Structure 1
């Protein structure tokens, strides 16, 4: 048996950033990751620059583009553009670079990672976590962090988050070149995807493209529509290599901690149910996970309950309204686009949400009332 202060299941963005925050505080940390190294992370890469404050290192090497404009379109026309305020408040990062940067820094601060390694069993024994893996070694931890993403097996097993998680269906791909997307702009394409939208986020020399459907378990199997979306971004055809993924989205206020265990990022069902933003909640939850584990290990707190309260307060309240907007907007998408996007102040508000300046709570009541009134008339 090998003992650690904290064992983290999952070495992606949430796991590596939690490990970094904890290792910086001097704790012994082990990351258990089931995958080998990944060349490509299926992620749009959009990140509010304000999130830098939740990371104890400079991430400039992972920044590919600094965004000045957010473009909205309805079926490749009816364009609306919003200017982002401030000094480059929205970045496009290359996820594989950011994840590796965080992991390398945590390792340099004393954290350990074992990969690829499969966990076979987790039990609580003598007030400590005992993790049995397929290498026949048992790892002991005072605290356990679940960070194994949207396909998390262990979050549900340990009763963290919603009993029945809700998922968005997504397709992600990366194409060489930028097509018709400006280097300093991101584009949201509505109208093609039922119950959802498509997006294009520029890297230095390639484009991250995604398609997502967010309510009613909508599917993305219509190849003709998918090709239309790709062409609208300035490319000739839909490529063969795509990644399909179920994205675990926010679905109500639930406890995301237990006795000496908590979940972070996608495993905690924190992904934005309207715009599919996942980086911001991953970094926020990882930061506070480390803060409250530190308080428990140092004797300042008896349990991790304040972690759930904190995340529900600073993220969940906004997502509760984001979910309501999504449920109305995606059921009446044309009305939603006309009244929710083309309205004079709307694009700027969406841009401010992306950059972290305001929350859904700041705009939701007016938006929902407007959409419902129009759709029922």
Structure 2
């Protein structure tokens, strides 16, 4: 039995959890990270990260970046292509999660955080001002708790947070014998996937090709089986256009926990971060950058709470709801309209010369959805009117 009392236990060693661990350890707090899988571990994810996340850290991310891309291609039902380039200060990072996540874990360790992988959490209990966290290796104790165990982890439920809907996504990981050309673009295909889209983020030597729906009821049971079958059909068709044999790809089905409204992100001496908190953009499915930011902000709140500041965790919920969640209300509205009429959305939205510029600005945090929502929804609404 480990009789130490940590300042904080972080459950989950993904980008959100490692970001929280890094910043807490950097403040001199004792941190234990518990990860169910053996590290380094693969995580189904397309692996596109906005370089704007670097502003929250004081180290160089270069060793964790597989390659960088600026070119973007859009298609509608594999036709009517649009080629453009992001106008951001830096290209978008393409990362492999087993490399990127491990790099972040190592940065947290370098600051003094302890990491125990292969250590699933089997239960939690709050006793006074301490959390007791049960694992097969024995219990661990901490003053505060960070739940960073992803979309399907049990921590949010154990902590009493409401159950949120999950969506199913399918991802093909393709490894190529030769390097992918530097000119190969990030690709977004609309129209093949019902109420959603297909995307391809090229790596240095391969592709991460995904498909998911973003609106309508979340699929469970037989409906989920049908959804994944439909995704596979769309992915097979797309793969033919880039000369990839889908039978030679590794196929993964994973859950997406998209933002679905404002919810508390804290309770007594505990917070949710990343996918566990549904910190995932409901329009683009971007989760790494906002998840890392939630980890940074959670660490700041816990550090203040450990210093005796009452209300610090409530401030974390309020800050995330104000700085991120309020804008996601607009993202969700745009998503609900766009993905229900993707043909119109493609014609009046994606094909506009400013579309890629706005995408880059949103990913970089330079522009919020609220800044463009009224114009976008007005155009989409006008597109529904015959003759417009």
2: CA distance, partners of 1:184 / 1:316: 33
1:98 is matched with which residue? 100
* Cα 1:181–1:371 shift into 2, 3 Å: farther
* Cα 1:212–1:38 shift into 2, 3 Å: farther
* Cα 1:233–1:169 shift into 2, 3 Å: farther
1:132 is matched with which residue? 134
1: CA distance, partners of 2:180 / 2:78: 11
What is the TM-score of this pair, normalised by structure 1?
A: 0.93
Structure 1 SS opposite 2:171: strand
Kindly state the Cα deviation for residue 323 of structure 1 after the two structures are TM-superposed. 0.8
* Cα 1:335–1:255 shift into 2, 3 Å: same
2:223 is matched with which residue? none
Give the conservation status (yes or no) of the 8 Å contact 1:265–1:278. yes
Q: Does residue 205 of structure 2 align to residue 213 of structure 1?
A: no
Give the conservation status (yes or no) of the 8 Å contact 2:180–2:206. no
What is the TM-score of this pair, normalised by structure 2?
A: 0.91
2: CA distance, partners of 1:180 / 1:366: 37
Kindly state the Cα deviation for residue 376 of structure 1 after the two structures are TM-superposed. 4.9
2: CA distance, partners of 1:239 / 1:221: 17
Kindly state the Cα deviation for residue 104 of structure 1 after the two structures are TM-superposed. 1.2
Structure 2 SS opposite 1:166: coil
2: CA distance, partners of 1:269 / 1:242: 24
* Cα 1:26–1:285 shift into 2, 3 Å: same
Give the conservation status (yes or no) of the 8 Å contact 1:82–1:351. no
**Residues 229-308 of structure 1: matches in 2 within 5 Å?**
229-239=238-248, 241-308=250-317
Q: Give the number of equivalent residue pairs.
A: 374
Structure 1 runs of 4+ aligned residues shifted over 4 Å read 178-184
Q: 1:310 aligns with which of 316, 319, 341?
A: 319
2: CA distance, partners of 1:321 / 1:232: 34
2:10 is matched with which residue? 8
* Cα 1:118–1:180 shift into 2, 3 Å: closer
> RMSD over aligned Cα, in angstroms?
1.9
2:328 is matched with which residue? 319
2:154 is matched with which residue? 153
Give the conservation status (yes or no) of the 8 Å contact 1:179–1:235. no
2:193 is matched with which residue? 193
Give the conservation status (yes or no) of the 8 Å contact 1:21–1:287. yes
